[in-house]
Amino acid sequence: MPLINLPAFAGELLADFERLKTLRVDTPVIQPAEPFLDMAGEDLRRRIFMTESETGESLCLRPEFTIPVCLRHIETATGTPQRYAYLGEVFRQRREGSSEFYQAGIEDLGDADTAGADARVIGDAMLVLANRLPDRRLKVTLGDQSVFEAVIAACGLPAGWQKRLIHAFGDQKLLQKLLGELADPKSPGVFGPEVERLAIMGILGDEESLVGHLAETMEATGYSTNASRSPRDIARRLKEKMELATTRLDKAALAVMREFLAFDLPLAQAPAALHAFARKSKLKIDGALSLFDARVAAVAKAGADPGLIRYRAAFGRPLDYYTGLVFEIEAEGAPAVLAGGGRFDRLLTLLGAREHIPAVGFSLWLDRIERAIAAAGGAK
Amino acid sequence: MTITIALPSKGRMKDDASAIFERAGMRIVAVGNDRSYRGRVEGADDVEVAFLSASEISREVGSGAVDFGVTGEDLVREGIADADARVEFAARLGFGHADVVVAVPEVWYDVDTMADLGDVAADFRARHGRRLAIATKYWRLTQQFFSGSHGIQLYRIVESLGATEGAPASGSADIIVDITSTGSTLKANHLKILSDGVILRSEACLVRARKPSHEGNPAIDRIISSVRSVL
């Protein structure tokens, strides 16, 4: 098993990070496995390298840096705002390439100026990539989870459908499938015989009596009413499910959603296009759009070339902790994503931070950057 | 070349497997006394029999340490990554039937399909501060079914090596993935199987390790065709 050596440009990259006024941090290679599995889901288990401590605690080799950097921030109780930089090895089984490789990046924690911090992170990622690949045109794809959520909410769908669609953001195939189902519901939903019985008993429509009935049933069958889903959770979801089954999206609303998801245009043109779209479709999404506008303005002010950035409305990244901005950067002519990042305002509280800490960051795949440099003829 | 067949070392599985081999003209006798863990096939000097536990059998066939094994399909698919590439299910033997299923509390009136469960799982942490917990000993089958077939990734597995059906009532997990043959234990614990929640319909199988040395070996083909001929 050949070890990957530190990429030749690591020193220059770290110097860039320092000029960007970040604090370089290191985190232990051996990490508790729980936070990664909790945030990314059980699927990650097959891809990370796990072991156990003598006392039975699940441990793993660091599969990425965002969670360790955030955990370190919480543990050391460092104040915010704080901009961290990291460069180190991560361990993850990938479809192609070695299972141990280098990543570097910046995590910007606690800056209340959302638009400004977003723009700075995009600008920083573009800058450090341009410094490694001076002759290659960068291609930045930008998406926005919160604009998507605002459009979904403004279309007036029931809560259950909103959740399904939001959960599918970034997964093109799933999203198209859900829209298809919304336009043309094939199945009225599967309901068990109990639900029919409840309907006959006449308590299906009344939340309070339904909750009472569920609580009685749970007690009679030895289920605790608070360890897992409560009677009220079940009653509310049952109502949501009945709405899911009966909702049909009319042609006009479906066309609005499809029109939105088809947006793929230079970032500079996106604000005007989105405002025109909202006006024409009579959608109230001013809150999300004003943040979007502010970010576009801030990107230009931060000195990043907006001409290299495209906004794609359907673009998301497959991790459910992103809350707003998401982006990826490629170099023209190379198919691999060299940098990816986004905003994760909920992550620190989920990891145990006492106060709300907004956060945004990006990470770089150093092995792919190395290959892109080599392909460009060994230029700096 | 000596061919090794791994058979269950005790219980109904052992008796049923021996009966099929006997009908197929391969009477299995123990070497030494009755409780020996080694055996042979009467009249076939080139065949050895190893009596092992069912889960060991799946591991040994998976690694190619034995040529054939009789064990449950569930154990093979759970124990071996990419099972179909490494072993061949040469014959389904018609005993040891059991389904690996997703079961949730009966009182979850709003959950009857995997799609319902996906909705509940997506929302779970926001409501309960933790992921949906699944008690199971079937890690691999659960992951394949939940993420591979149904796109559900937001859950946690809680390992459970026994009395899994009791986990939801005791509060140590929310739902279970477990094996059931009649469904009576699920019912007794007030659990219901989702309408599309059958992960695998398992039964005892004659499983062959895919080894290059088996290519064109008439003794291998003979064992498979004799077993198939009596099913």
Q: pLDDT tens digit string along B115-166?
A: 899 989 988 888 888 899 999 999 999 999 998 888 888 899 998 888 899 9
Please say if the pLDDT value at position A202 is more than 70: yes
ipTM here: 0.84
The model's confidence at residue A188, banded by pLDDT at 50, 70 and 90, is: low
Helices (H), chain B: 11-23, 54-63, 73-79, 83-86, 114-128, 139-143, 167-170, 184-188, 218-229
Q: How much is the pLDDT for B81?
A: 87
Q: How much is the pLDDT for A1?
A: 34
Q: How much is the pLDDT for A3?
A: 46
Is A352 an interface residue toward B (CB < 8 Å)? Answer: no
Please say if the pLDDT value at position A376 is more than 80: no
| % of chain A surpassing 90 pLDDT | 56
Which amino acid is present at A253? A
Q: Which of residues 263-322 of A touch B (CB under 8 A)?
A: 320
Q: How much is the pLDDT for A273?
A: 95
| Residue in chain A lying closest to B145 (CA) | A43
How many cross-chain Cβ pairs, A to B, lie less than 8 Å apart?
A: 95
Whether residue B156 and residue A42 make contact (CB cut-off 8 A), yes or no, is: yes
Per the annotation, binding residues of A are: 64-66, 92, 103, 107, 317, 321-322
The model's confidence at residue A187, banded by pLDDT at 50, 70 and 90, is: low
**A171 contacts on B by Cβ (under 8 Å):** 151
The alpha-carbon gap from B165 to the nearest alpha carbon of chain A, in Å, equals: 12
| % of chain A surpassing 70 pLDDT | 97
What pTM was computed for the model?
A: 0.83
Please say if the pLDDT value at position A153 is more than 70: yes
Please say if the pLDDT value at position A379 is more than 50: no
Exposed, middle or buried by CB within 10 Å (0-12, 13-18, 19+), for B192?
Answer: buried
Helix axis angle, A145-154 relative to A251-261, nearest 10°?
Answer: 170
Whether residue A229 and residue B147 make contact (CB cut-off 8 A), yes or no, is: no
| Residue in chain A lying closest to B139 (CA) | A42
Whether residue A234 and residue B110 make contact (CB cut-off 8 A), yes or no, is: yes
Interface test with A, best of B106, B109, B144 (most A CBs within 10 A): B109
Instruction: Respond yes or no on whether the N-terminal peptide bond of residue A81 is cis (omega within 30° of 0).
Output: yes
**A158 contacts on B by Cβ (under 8 Å):** none
Whether residue A174 and residue B151 make contact (CB cut-off 8 A), yes or no, is: yes
Least confident of A15-24, A217-226, A260-269, B28-37: B28-37
B198 contacts B113 by C-beta, under 8 angstroms: no
Which pair of structure tokens corresponds to residue B121? 């799982």
B3 contacts B47 by C-beta, under 8 angstroms: yes
Which pair of structure tokens corresponds to residue A259? 């029109």
The model's confidence at residue B44, banded by pLDDT at 50, 70 and 90, is: confident
Cβ-nearest to A160 among B119, B155, B168: B119
**A43 contacts on B by Cβ (under 8 Å):** 143, 147, 153
Distance CA B71, CA B52 (A): 10
Q: State the Rg of chain A over Cα.
A: 24
Task: Kindly report the average pLDDT of chain A as a whole number.
Answer: 89
- Nearest to A47, CA basis, from A117, A95, A12: A95
Least confident of A270-284, B27-41, B168-182, B203-217: B27-41
pLDDT (mean) for A28-49 = 89
Q: How much is the pLDDT for A378?
A: 52
Domain residues of chain A, as ranges? 10-146+309-375, 193-246
Cβ-nearest to B154 among A41, A164, A223: A41
Least confident of A62-76, A177-191, A295-309: A177-191
A290-297: list long-range contacts, CB under 8 Å, 24+ apart: A291/A114, A291/A115, A291/A146, A291/A324, A292/A144, A292/A147, A294/A114, A294/A115, A295/A114, A295/A115, A295/A118, A295/A119, A295/A325, A296/A267, A296/A268, A296/A270, A296/A271, A297/A115
Interface test with B, best of A219, A228, A236, A241 (most B CBs within 10 A): A228
Residue B100: which H helix or E strand, with range?
strand B98-105
Exposed, middle or buried by CB within 10 Å (0-12, 13-18, 19+), for A27?
Answer: middle
Please say if the pLDDT value at position B70 is more than 70: yes
Q: How much is the pLDDT for B162?
A: 83
Domains observed in chain B = 3-96+203-229 (3.40.190.10), 98-202 (3.40.190.10)
B3 contacts B69 by C-beta, under 8 angstroms: no
**A223 contacts on B by Cβ (under 8 Å):** 105, 107, 168-169, 190
Q: pLDDT tens digit string along A218-237?
A: 989 888 877 889 999 999 99
Rounded to whole angstroms, what are the CA distances from B49 to A268, B40, B71, B72?
74, 5, 14, 18
Task: Kindly report the average pLDDT of chain B as a whole number.
Answer: 91
Which residue is listed with tokens 């096939």?
Answer: B41
Give domain A10-146+309-375's CATH number out of 3.40.50.410, 3.40.190.80, 3.30.930.10, 3.40.50.2300: 3.30.930.10
Residues of B near A (Cβ–Cβ under 8 Å) read 105-113, 116, 119-120, 122-123, 125, 127-128, 130-131, 139, 142-143, 146-147, 151, 153-157, 168-169, 171, 174, 190, 192, 195
Is A62 an interface residue toward B (CB < 8 Å)? Answer: no
| Residue in chain A lying closest to B114 (CA) | A190
Please say if the pLDDT value at position A2 is more than 80: no
